[in-house]
A and B are shown apart, each in its own frame.
Chain A
Amino acid sequence: MSDAALALEGVAVGHAGRAVLAEVGFSLAPGSFAGLIGPNGSGKTTLLRSILGLVPLLAGRVAIGGRGQVGYVPQSIALDRFMPIRARDVIALGLDGHRLGIPLPSRRRRALVDEMIDAVGAAGFADRRVGDLSGGQQQRVMIAHALIRRPDVLLLDEPLASLDLRSTAEVVSLLAGLAREAKVAVLMSAHDMNPLLPAMDRIVYVAEGRAVAGTVAEVVRGAVLSALYGAHIDVLRVHGRVLVVAAGGAPHGHAHDHDEDAMHVVRIP
C-alpha cells in the first residue's frame, strides 16, 4: 500500500537476536487511530521502539508514508517539579531540539508553539514548569511536542498508564480529533482496550509472540483471539465494555486497573 502512513510487513522484533514478536503485518491510513493492545511484556514497547529505529528489526520491513516523519510520546518524562523548563519550552524543543546552540527567539517559532498549545488545550498551563503539571497535562504537552513538526505517524507508549478516568477520556478524544484533523496516523499502546473503544478504528492485538490486526469488529472475537492465544477465549460485551474471558477462568475484564495480570493468565487450566 503506497498511500499508507505506516506499513509493517513480516516484522520481527526482540532483544539480542531473540524475537519477542514475529510476523507482524499491518498498515494504517493517514488519519486513522489505532490501538496497540496486549498484556504487559508482550512486546508493545519493543515494537514501537523498532518503528522509531531505536531497536533494529530482526526481520521484515517498516515503511513510513508522506515525508517519513514519526512523532513519539514516551511513557513518562524524567523532569522533577523544580526544573526550570516550562510546558512551552518542551513544545518548542519538538521543533528544533536536535539543533545546536541556544534557540534564538523568533516570531515564527512562537506562533507555531502557540498554535500547538491551543491545539492540545494547554493554554492554561503553558507557562508553568512541566514537572509540576498533572499526568494528563504532561501528556498534552508531550503530544504537542510530538506533533509540532507535522509528522505522518504519531506513536505513543502507554499514554494512559498513569491517568485517572477523566484524563484518560480527554486524552483519547484529543488524539482521535488530532488524527482526523492533522491527517496523522496515531498508534498508541495500551494494556486495556476499553478506553480506546469509542475512538479506535484499527486495533493491533499482540499476545504470545504474534499479532493480529484489523478493525475492532474483525479482531476482538472469540475465534480470532482463541487462535492468537492458542487457548479457548470468549469475548463478552457488557454495558459497552469488552471482557476477554479464558475458558475455565473467571471473567477478566478490561475495566479495572492492573488487569494486565488478568490478561496474562488467559490460558486453559
Chain B
Amino acid sequence: MFAAFMLDTWVAGLIVAITAGVVGWFVVLRGASFAAHALPLGTFPGAAAAVLLGIAPSAGVAGFGLAGVVAIWVLGRRGRPEVATALTLVMLLATGALLLSWTDRYAAQVYALLFGQVLGVSRASLGGMALAGAGAVALVLAGFRPLLLGAIAPDLAAARGARPAAWEFGFLAAIALAAAVAVPVVGALLTFALMVGPASCGRAVSARPELALAASVAIALALMAGSIALSYITSWPVGCFAGLGGAGCYALGRALL
C-alpha cells in the first residue's frame, strides 16, 4: 500500500484530514452540523452541471458550494438557520435532479461522488485540493477568536465589533471549501462524519481550545490513514471506513465526557 502509485492517495488523504479536522472543530463548537451535512451534499449536483457544460467537475462543485453559502447566509439572516439550510439543500438537489436528467454520461460518476473514491485521485487534482484546503484552514484560523466569541453569544461578538454576520459568511465559505476538498475522496454523503466525528472526540481530550483543535486534527489524520489502509486491503470503499469510523469517534467522545 506504500507503492509509488499510492503516493497521491496518501497526500489527498492528508489534505482532507487536516481540512476536515480544523473546520470540523468549529462546526461542532458553533453547532453548525446541519450546514456541514447540507453543503457537501448540495455541492454534489455541481459536478453533474460541470459534466453537462464540459468544464472541470471541481469548478461545478465550487460554483454550487458558493451558491449554497450565499443562500444559507441570506435566508438565515431573517429566519431560523436550520430552515435556511434545509431550503438551500432542497434547491441545490432539485437543480441537480434536473441537470442529471439531461445527461447520461454522468451515471458512472454518481456513485463515486456519493460514496468517495480515494484510490482514484489524480495527481493533477492535488494542487487544487491543497489550495482549497489551505483556504478553508486559513479562514477559520483567522476567525478563531471572533468565531469563538460568536459561539458564546452572538450579541457579545456584535457589541465587541467582531462582525459576527461577516464571520458567519466566512465560516460557511470555509465549510464549502472543506466540502470541495473532501467530497471527491470521502463522498458527499459521508463527508459529514469526517468533519464532526474527530472534532467531537477531540473535545474529550482537552478542555483547552487550542489543544482540543490539535486533537481533532490528529484524530482525523488517524481516521483517514486507517480508512485508506483498510480500503486498500479489503478494496471496500474508503467512505465506508471513514463514515463508520467518524461515527465511532463521536460515540467514543460522548462516552469519555
Contact = CB atoms under 8 A, between A and B. Distances in A.
B159 A53 contact: yes
A170 interface: no
A101 B144 contact: yes
B210 interface: yes
Contacts of B160: 97-98
Contacts of A79: 151-152
A84 B145 contact: no
Nearest to A141: B152
A78 interface: yes
A103 B146 CA distance: 11
A74 interface: yes
A97 B207 contact: no
Given A82-B203, A85-B209, A98-B149, A74 B156 contact: yes
A103 B141 CA distance: 10
Contact of B207 (A53, A78, A127): A127
Contact of B155 (A74, A90, A93, A102): A74
B162 A98 contact: yes
Interface string B200-230: 0011101111111000000000000000000
Contact of A101 (B142, B152, B159): B142
B149 A93 contact: yes
A129 interface: yes
Contacts of A102: 141, 144-145, 210
Contacts of B156: 72, 74
Interface in B148-169: 148-149, 151-162
A13 to B, nearest CB: 15
B161 A98 contact: yes
A129 B207 contact: yes
Contacts, number: 92
B152 A77 contact: yes
B81 interface: no
A212 B18 CA distance: 58
Contacts of B141: 101-102
B155 A96 contact: no
A70 B148 contact: no
Interface in A77-131: 77-79, 81-86, 89-90, 93, 96-103, 127-130
A76 interface: yes
B29 interface: yes
B6 to A, nearest CB: 34
Nearest to B204: A82
Most buried by A among B141, B159, B203: B159
Nearest to A51: B159
Contacts of A103: 144-145
Interface in B100-156: 141-146, 148-149, 151-156
Contact of A84 (B152, B153, B154, B202): B202
Contacts of B207: 84-86, 127-129
A16 interface: no
Scoring B141, B202, B206, B207 by chain A CB atoms within 10 A of each residue's CB, the highest score goes to B207
A54 interface: yes
Nearest to B155: A74
A78 B208 contact: no
A258 B18 CA distance: 50
28 contacts: A52-B158, A54-B159, A72-B155, A72-B156, A74-B155, A77-B152, A77-B153, A78-B152, A79-B151, A82-B203, A82-B204, A82-B253, A82-B257, A84-B202, A84-B203, A84-B211, A85-B152, A85-B207, A85-B209, A86-B207, A96-B145, A97-B145, A97-B148, A97-B160, A98-B160, A98-B161, A100-B146, A101-B145
Q: List the 5 closest pairs (A to B, CB-CB), nearest first.
A: A84-B212, A97-B149, A98-B162, A74-B153, A72-B159
Given A78-B152, A84-B209, 4 more contacts: A82-B203, A82-B253, A84-B211, A93-B152
Interface of B: 29, 31, 141-146, 148-149, 151-162, 202-204, 206-212, 253, 257
